[in-house]
Structure 1
C-alpha cells in the first residue's frame, strides 16, 4: 500500500513490509472471515469503566499470542502521523476518522500495533502475499464506546457512495465506495466494511473491523500490498486481540 491512503496507513504498510516477501495463509489458522454480519449487543447495563493506558498496553497483542504473525508496536510518532482525517460529508466522519489517529470522541488512551505474517507462512509463492494491517486499541469514557460503534455503523450505511477525506497535511483521498461485509460475531458489538479508494496514481481497498468490548474499541484494518482489491484481516488476529481485551476488562486491580 502506497501513500494513497493516510499517513498512518502508509506507516503501517512500511512496518508490515519489513517481514513481507510474504503474506497471510488462508487456512483456518489465519482465518478468513467466514460469515455473520458482526454483532450488535448494546444493552442498558451500566457503562463499563475504561482500561488505563498501562492495562491497555498489557492487553495489546504480542507475537507469541498469535503463532505465525509478527506483531509490532507503533511508536507515538508513527501513530500521530495519521493526523486528523476529515470527511467532506459530516455523516461520513466516523468512517473517515479511521484513516487517521484523532477522533471526535477522544479516547482516554490508545495503543497502535501492526501485524504481518512470519515464519513458514511468509512464502513468496503464497497467492495472498502482501497482506498486512494495523490494530488500534482505545479506551473510552463510559458510554462513548457505544457511541463510536453507533456512529461507524450509521456512516457505513449513509456513505455507500463514498466521500472525500482530507488528512492533517491537506492531502485528499477519494473514497469511492463504503460497503458493509460479513464478519464472524465478535465482542459485544461489531461491524465490518471495506473502503474503495482511488487517486491519480492508484486505487485499492481497505478492510475494517471495529469491535466494542466494554468501554474499549478495537479497530482493525487490513490491506493487500500485492493485490490492492483483495484486503483481508486474519480472524486469528481478530479473535486473539478481542479475547485479550475482554480478559483485561474482567481482571481486578
Structure 2
C-alpha cells in the first residue's frame, strides 16, 4: 500500500560602547540590542509537531513513499461526485483546502496490522481550519452512498461512507467501505483541529487488501491519535 526537527539559533549581538572624544562619557548609542530569534516557518512547525517513534513505542514511523501515493496533489484527483472530494483527499493523504504547509507520516505496528497515515496541515487564519473541517463534515453527511475517485491510472471506489464518533472533542470521523478483487474492506478516517492545524488520521489494513483473500476492518488506534493530539497541544 501507499507508502524535519527544527533548531532555532538565536544569536545575541552586543554593541560596543562609544566614548565621546572630549570627556570620555558614554553616548546614548551605548545601549545593547538583541536581534529577534528566527521566525519558524509553517513547514518547520509541523516537522516539530509530527509524531516520531519516540512518541509511539511499538510503531514504525516513516515518511510517505511517493511511489505508493494515489496522487501527487489534489489537482490530479477527479471524483464522480464533486461534493465528496474532501473525503477522497482525506483518505489519500492529500491536504484539505489550501494549507500553508502539510506533512504526512505513516505509523505501522507490524505485519498484518493496520497502518495509520497522519497528515498535519496548517492554515491562515485559524478560522480557515475550522471552515475546512466543517466542509469535511458536510461531505460525510452527503456521501453516504459512496463515490469513485480517480487519479491517472489509479481508481478507487467507495461503496459507502458512515459517520462515526471521534475520539477527540469536535473531531470528524467516518468509516468507508471499498471493494478490491471482490472483497470488501473497511477503512477509517478521523480529523481533529488544534487551533490552525488539522490532523488527519487514516487507518487501513494494506496487508489484507494486498492478500485479497479476506475482508478487513481497520480500526483507529486511540494510542496514535492521543499521542499526536497531545504533541500538537504542547
Q: Normalised by the size of structure 1, how large is the TM-score?
A: 0.67
For 1:95-135, what per-residue CA distance to the aligned partner results, in whole angstroms no more than 9, with x for missing partners? Answer: 12223454562211111100011xxxx5x7xxxx3211211
How many residues align structurally? 189
SS in 1 for 2:216: coil
**Which has more radius of gyration?**
2
Aligned equivalent of 1:198: 179
In structure 1, which of residues 8, 11, 19 is the aligned counterpart of residue 2 of structure 2? 11
Q: Where do 1:42-121 residues align within 5 Å?
A: 52-74=42-64, 81-84=71-74, 85-103=77-95, 105-117=97-109
In structure 1, which of residues 177, 180, 183 is the aligned counterpart of residue 166 of structure 2? 183
Q: Distance in 1 between matches of 2:137 and 2:78?
A: 17
SS in 2 for 1:192: strand
Cα gap change, 1:114 to 1:104, in 2 (>3 Å): closer
Aligned equivalent of 1:148: 132
Gaps of 5+ in 2: 4-39, 209-213
Give how far 1:201 is off: 5.3
Give yes or no for the alignment of 1:132 onto 2:126. Answer: no
Give how far 1:79 is off: 5.9
In structure 1, which of residues 207, 223, 241 is the aligned counterpart of residue 188 of structure 2? 207
Aligned equivalent of 1:172: 155
Q: Normalised by the size of structure 2, how large is the TM-score?
A: 0.72
Q: CA RMSD in A?
A: 2.4
Is the Cα contact below 8 Å between 2:173 and 2:191 reproduced in 1? yes
Is the Cα contact below 8 Å between 1:131 and 1:222 reproduced in 2? yes
Larger RCO, structures 1/2 (Cα 8 Å, 6+ apart): 1
Give how far 1:183 is off: 2.7
Aligned equivalent of 2:219: 232
For 1:126-182, what per-residue CA distance to the aligned partner results, in whole angstroms no more than 9, with x for missing partners? Answer: xxx321121101111212211111011111111101111112x14322110000112
Gaps of 5+ in 1: 1-9, 13-49, 248-253
Cα gap change, 1:94 to 1:172, in 2 (>3 Å): same
Give how far 1:228 is off: 4.2
